[in-house]
């Protein structure tokens, strides 16, 4: 059954309102990958991720309501302090596509500013953090103009709207771990929005996720084309079933704290994602030679030391190195000596599991 939420109708002729909302939203890293979609940005398999801290987007919206209705959203858009027409066009298209969920958008002028904590051309995808920050801002405006909703409903709607902007963004509205997609075991999870997952052993509560930039170049194949190519991938059905099974197992390893079993699944998932790309038609490869070298280094270091240090990959060549806080000293020495030399200009971000989005407009005024 598809989720539905209250759509607040804006009443014409109401007194003019203006306001300001702002959110910081993190990026997230999927451990069980979403790859393949259908309908209106619905996943072909459930995914599980955790939110990061250092890689985030700050978005603010100043809005002013008006008497008359316009067919399209009216907005100005500034990216990292400067007007950006290309981003504005994309954003206008997205906002127009969600007017049915926010009819108020027809009655307001928006001034949107957005900036990322990481450089635009660092090879780190910003769609998850930016779309979730935007969705949270829209839900906050709605709260200001209409009645306020309980936090869980607010987050469900923000997650639903973020999903329409970029699938994986729906997982960025929560801190810690979350699951997006019906994983068959109970009614808790749905394809419509993500839900927090907190049955997690303490060993994972301080996970590091160091991002190693192997290449900052723009990807040769976008995620949306990659998702589309799953439609003709001969292994697609097997993958969707396998992802569900992997997720159920990972949930168990998360709950009981078996970090070696956790890491095995995390690495299998990353390599399965890239294997699916390689056997798509047309085939494509997003890893670079140094991505493979880093994978080899991590595996050898683990064999040498027995330490729980693992890798995962997004749809790109950059590595995420995952390990618990209690081995940080050994892990950092290893990363600095053996992995950072394999990064483009040594670029990396030391990131870690985060507590989720922050409403900046509330932090500033209180």
Q: For residue 76, what are the contacts with CB-CB under 8 A and spacing of at least 6?
A: 83, 88, 110, 111, 112
Residue 47 binds ligand PMV, judged by CB under 6 A: yes
Residue 36 or 142 with smaller CB distance to ligand PMV:
36
Residue 109's H or E segment, with its range, is: strand 108-116
Residue 35 or 334 with smaller CB distance to ligand PMV:
35
Residue 59 or 272 with smaller CB distance to ligand PMV:
272
Start-to-end CA span in the chain (Å): 40
Q: Of 294, 325, 326, which is closest to residue 311 (Cα–Cα)?
A: 294
Helix segments in 279-345, DSSP class H: 289-305, 328-334
Residue 249's H or E segment, with its range, is: helix 236-256
Q: Directed axis angle between helix 127-145 and helix 151-165, to 10°?
A: 130
Residue 60 or 246 with smaller CB distance to ligand PMV:
246
Residue 170 binds ligand PMV, judged by CB under 6 A: no
Using the Cα atoms of residue 65, residue 67, residue 73 and residue 74 in order, give the sign of their dihedral: negative
Beta bridge partners of 109: 64, 74
- 133, 315, 335, 360: residue in contact with ligand PMV (rule CB under 6 A): 315
Beta bridge partners of 47: 180
Q: Which one of the spans 32-40, 132-140, 205-213, 260-268 is the region binding ligand PMV (CB under 6 A)?
A: 32-40
Residue 78 or 352 with smaller CB distance to ligand PMV:
352
- Residues binding ligand PMV: number (CB under 6 A): 14
Residue 314 binds ligand PMV, judged by CB under 6 A: yes
Cα atoms in the Cβ-side hemisphere of radius 13 Å centred on 9: 3
Beta bridge partners of 23: 59
Q: Which one of the spans 87-95, 166-174, 199-207, 284-292 is the region binding ligand PMV (CB under 6 A)?
A: 166-174
Residue 30 binds ligand PMV, judged by CB under 6 A: yes
CB 102 within 8 A of CB 138: yes
- 24, 26, 27, 34: residue in contact with ligand PMV (rule CB under 6 A): 34
What φ, ψ does residue 66 adopt, rounded to 5°? -140, 170
Residue 183 binds ligand PMV, judged by CB under 6 A: no
Residue 167 binds ligand PMV, judged by CB under 6 A: yes
Residue 174 binds ligand PMV, judged by CB under 6 A: no
Residue 33 or 251 with smaller CB distance to ligand PMV:
33
Helix (H, G, I), strand (E, B) or coil at 65: strand
User: Interaction with ligand PMV in 259-298: which residues (CB under 6 A)?
Assistant: 273
Residue 250 binds ligand PMV, judged by CB under 6 A: no
Helix (H, G, I), strand (E, B) or coil at 102: coil
Min dist CB 209 to ligand PMV, Å, is 13
Please give the C-alpha separations between residue 105 and each of 5, 70, 146, in angstroms, as whole numbers: 17, 9, 13
- Return the beta strands (E) in 5-67 as ranges: 18-32, 37-38, 42-43, 47-65
Residue 167 or 263 with smaller CB distance to ligand PMV:
167
Residue 60 or 127 with smaller CB distance to ligand PMV:
127
User: Interaction with ligand PMV in 91-150: which residues (CB under 6 A)?
Assistant: 127
Residue 33 binds ligand PMV, judged by CB under 6 A: yes
Q: Which one of the spans 6-14, 160-168, 212-220, 230-238 is the region binding ligand PMV (CB under 6 A)?
A: 160-168
**Residues within the interface to ligand PMV (CB under 6 A):** 30, 33-35, 47, 127, 166-168, 223, 227, 273, 314-315
């Amino acid at each position: 059954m598809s989720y539905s939420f209250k759509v607040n109708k804006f009443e014409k002729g109401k007194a003019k309102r203006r306001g300001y909302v702002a959110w910081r939203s993190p990026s997230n890293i999927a451990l069980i990958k979403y790859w393949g979609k259908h309908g209106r940005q619905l996943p072909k398999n459930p995914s599980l991720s955790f939110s990061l801290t250092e890689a985030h987007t700050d978005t603010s919206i100043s809005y002013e309501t008006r008497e008359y209705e316009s067919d399209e959203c009216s907005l100005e858009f500034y990216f990292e302090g400067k007007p950006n027409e290309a981003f504005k066009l994309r954003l206008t298209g997205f906002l127009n596509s969600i007017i049915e969920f926010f009819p108020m958008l027809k009655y307001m002028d928006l001034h949107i500013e957005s900036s990322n904590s990481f450089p635009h051309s660092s090879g780190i995808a910003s769609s998850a953090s930016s779309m979730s920050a935007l969705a949270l801002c829209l839900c906050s405006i709605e709260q200001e103009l209409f009645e306020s909703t309980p936090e869980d409903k607010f987050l469900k709607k923000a997650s639903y709207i973020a999903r329409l902007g970029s699938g994986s963004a729906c997982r960025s509205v929560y801190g810690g771990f979350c699951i997006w997609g019906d994983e068959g075991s109970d009614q808790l999870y749905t394809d419509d929005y993500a839900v927090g997952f907190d049955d997690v052993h303490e060993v994972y509560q301080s996970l590091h996720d160091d991002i190693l930039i192997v290449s900052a170049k723009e990807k040769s194949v976008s995620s949306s084309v990659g998702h589309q190519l799953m439609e003709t991938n001969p292994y697609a059905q097997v993958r969707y079933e396998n992802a569900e099974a992997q997720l159920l197992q990972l949930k168990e390893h998360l709950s009981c704290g078996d970090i070696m079993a956790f890491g095995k699944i995390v690495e299998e998932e990353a390599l399965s994602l890239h294997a699916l790309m390689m056997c798509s038609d047309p085939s494509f490869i997003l890893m670079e030679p140094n991505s493979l070298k880093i994978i080899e280094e991590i595996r050898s270091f683990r064999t040498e030391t027995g330490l729980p240090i693992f890798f995962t990959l997004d749809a790109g060549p950059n590595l995420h190195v995952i390990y618990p806080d209690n081995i940080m000293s050994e892990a950092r020495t290893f990363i600095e000596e053996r992995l950072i030399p394999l990064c483009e200009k040594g670029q990396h971000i030391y990131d870690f599991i985060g507590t989720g989005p922050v409403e900046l407009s509330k932090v500033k005024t209180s």
